[in-house]
Structure 1
């Protein structure tokens, strides 16, 4: 914990929620407890204990206990506490030298000190600005202030002056062997008699008054509003990775960079259930940490003031930076361009040639992007097309790289080769081509949508043979992934053609026409309850479906019209039947993103009070990666539909795919289930 502090003078102030159960004596008699704790871990504290005089170590630990009425009481344990020894310290209520200097300037030297003394904090003296070379006389003066609202003066304050000279109460003020003055080394101890000082007990008293105002005397409380408390609690506990402005490189400014207790210089992540409210000080070789440590898992009674203000400690910065480094294989062409393709707009919405990585040198490419915290990210690396995606294991088409964005993250990838370099004998996917007959409509446009899209139509085995027969129709989203391996994501299609053909020939399901609608760069908004999403629904209902019904021998009624998709495609499939039960009567919703847009569709279903809609819905979800994060939405939708009167096995199908991931390979393995639910004999 103290590795980086071995050669500087140390002071600590700490108070925690009560964890010690022994009845403890008053402060002046219990220094043995802290010393015993220190000596119990010689691996951590041995080096310091050997030189406590040299390092001028002082420790003050306060335990917080509460009675049956939730009133706090404090038991303090000290080690070498001495208010007359010298400590340089920034006032802990401010964050840096400039903030302190502005406070000093505005309040004035005399008022600042006398106000704190009046509150009982008498072992302190604040007589100069920080990091500004001024004489003692100059520091007794403060400058005038004028506040403007536009061109209007709203407040003026004249220059200030403290006529009093505050005496030095410390017994020892000369420290060290030398110091720097005007860029020159002065080989003698520095005299701190004219510098700021504050005792450790007073520092902890100030922290106690801020964190537990209800537990201190009225005289010691600060006149703070609830907004003031929120502000203090937020920024006293903030981690560098949570700061939105300015942003910090978390490799340099790790969680414990300015929070020394518990985690020290380990650079490990501080668990999200632990918040450390503190102020550190480092100056002239002295270091101090004044901290209150709060574990969120503990009962709420331990921090009523924090709970009262309901501060969102854990999402102070809403975005995190993702760095992707790709070390390309030697077989990469010299003129190659590398791309990242994934499930977010910043990743090109699975367009393999849209978001380019920046080349750093002959073998290193880099991509940097910010994403909202909590979002699930999936992506692959390509050379601009899916038949040239990165391969990491010989003969294996890789699954998506997936993770949840929580903090700044760096991912380094080392592909073995590229898919187009694997050789003709290497299988490129689980599909074996196209089973049956397919037709295409290329670049279908709509005035309601911003991008044209292809449409693929799969015809059942008897379609060309029995020209009197009409067929139900299944409309599917992400149509490029459902039938044709060449166009599907990662070379793995859903195998809808092969599975449907097999079930039809086995007389397990009726013959159907499958219409696959390719997605577009607007996939996310088109597949959700947005303006583009409603435009997409309108396009299918009023433009594409009439075209299909006119071109092919369909059964156009709602009873024989279904819709299916996965992920966002599962969400829009549900919206199709929920909004238009007069057009679609069945929906297959695989791995559906029901939590999208703050649970919007779940709220719509929950608030629906009309008659039961004449629809049948199939729901399923896997257990791995993104699937696990989607499961709460799946569970809630199941519960809501059951409440609305839908019955399992009749008009509500469900399946939990243990071990299944969020990808085409997984959906191909279970697509037979929704096909039989909707069209089974």
Structure 2
């Protein structure tokens, strides 16, 4: 009797797990039909590689209004992946939204932003050597976030928005499962709850001052998340126990896809889900979500290290450093602990093609976490490159009733 009950419970668990994972036959068959042996190997082991993919077809009507159709491959909100730097996308959006609400006080994206140290672990930031005027600002931090996924820039905007406001604003827009509770610096959970005093000055005059803040809000950490067979602790000691991600940042893939759509196509989402930003803020975002490090003057980057495909995973990462001039990728990537993630809107102006791809994969053959030894080059980047090529080649052949007008996304870039 007991064995029967256990078997029944196990079957229910398996069925529930299968029901939670969403796969569309169209996308599965499309990718399998074009997959090389290395990609087919990965596709055979969804539990090991923990890959998830959302392919978004975009079709325009006679008035150029976009309509979307999502196709899913092993998408499961309960399958945790570490979002890494993809959380910089919502932080940048919330910073611009807050800036917009404060604009009546004379604040702009270029107003110098001076950060004080108000609690243990915090840092003072009064200058920025990568800016033309050597001063930090909201706009300049966002440039750094999208051009090379700069961690320091993210930390400063996390502090500007505030931990409590991050979650209240995102939940208000329907992103109830997004959790952003950490800066990218070695701080405790308590230290991450504290955010700095910040002031904005113009020619020595304080335009806006923000006091230090502490978030008393409680988070639901009841779902425990352990990964790997071993990990290095903060003292670089190898412990042969799984790593605990229970209290880490979390950003489900469907939420990431929806957020990217809300940025690139704000008119297509309900008003309650939109980020309240000025029109010029959207243009600013499009510029730096798609610009390459080689096209940036301030900041200026060493393009041997920060090459054009540095943060462009789909289609291009691992396939050489150059990207054809007819293609632009508006995206945000993340990489950490063996997880690679990308949310991208891809445009080919020559062939009038547009589509979105949002995906994640875990590549860590030895099962040891926090050792900085992951299989990004061998497995991760080729996965994104090959998936991107399969979908792009399909999009080149896909019939559209109306040719899209993509002029909204044609921008001017500095030629290196």
Partner of 2:411: 311
Deviation, 1:252, is 4.1
**TM-score normalized by structure 2?**
0.64
Partner of 1:242: 295
Partner of 2:325: 272
Deviation, 1:224, is 1.6
Deviation, 1:214, is 0.7
Contact 2:81 2:250 (8 Å CA) reproduced: yes
**1:141-220 alignment to 2 at 5 Å?**
141-168=194-221, 170=223, 172-220=225-273
Report the structure, 1 or 2, having the larger helix content.
2
For residue 160 of structure 2, the aligned residue among 103, 106, 114 is 106
**1:31-46 alignment to 2 at 5 Å?**
31-40=24-33, 41-46=35-40
Partner of 2:57: 63
Partner of 1:78: 72
Query: Which protein has the larger Cα radius of gyration, Structure 1 or Structure 2?
Result: 1
Count of residues in Structure 1 that have an aligned counterpart in Structure 2: 288
Change in CA separation of 1:135 and 1:252 when aligned onto 2, cut-off 3 Å: closer
Q: What CA distance in whole angstroms lies between the structure 2 residues aligned with 1:168 and 1:65?
A: 40
Change in CA separation of 1:112 and 1:274 when aligned onto 2, cut-off 3 Å: same
Higher relative contact order (CA 8 A, sep 6+): 2
Contact 2:21 2:74 (8 Å CA) reproduced: no
RMSD (Å) for aligned C-alpha atoms: 2.4
**1:247-396 alignment to 2 at 5 Å?**
247-267=300-320, 269-299=322-352, 307-308=407-408, 311-312=411-412, 316-318=413-415, 320=416
Partner of 1:138: 191
Report the structure, 1 or 2, having the larger strand content.
1
Deviation, 1:172, is 3.2
Q: What CA distance in whole angstroms lies between the structure 2 residues aligned with 1:109 and 1:88?
A: 19
Contact 1:113 1:125 (8 Å CA) reproduced: yes
Contact 2:225 2:244 (8 Å CA) reproduced: no
Change in CA separation of 1:303 and 1:135 when aligned onto 2, cut-off 3 Å: farther
Residue segments in structure 2 that go unaligned for 5+ positions in a row: 1-19, 93-144, 354-401
Partner of 2:82: 88
Partner of 1:53: 47
Q: What CA distance in whole angstroms lies between the structure 1 residues aligned with 2:155 and 2:305?
A: 27
Contact 2:290 2:329 (8 Å CA) reproduced: yes
The one-character-per-residue Cα deviations of 1:398-456 (angstroms, maximum 9, x if unpaired) are xxxxxxxxxxxxxxxxxxxxxxxxxxxxxxxxxxxxxxxxxxxxxxxxxxxxxxxxxxx
Contact 1:85 1:170 (8 Å CA) reproduced: no
Q: What CA distance in whole angstroms lies between the structure 2 residues aligned with 1:169 and 1:291?
A: 32
The one-character-per-residue Cα deviations of 1:497-526 (angstroms, maximum 9, x if unpaired) are xxxxxxxxxxxxxxxxxxxxxxxxxxxxxx
